[in-house]
Structure 1
Amino acid sequence: MAHLGFGHGARYRVGAPLVRIELPVVFSQPAARFPTLRPGCAPREPTFDTHMPTGGLSALPVSRYV
Structure 2
Amino acid sequence: MSITDLFPPVSPAPDAECCECGTRTSAPVVVRHLVTGSSHGVTLYACPLCAPTLTPGPHPGEVVRKR
The structure with the greater share of residues assigned to strand is 2
Q: Name which one, 1 or 2, has greater alpha-carbon Rg.
A: 2
TM-score bracket, normalised by the shorter chain, equals under 0.3
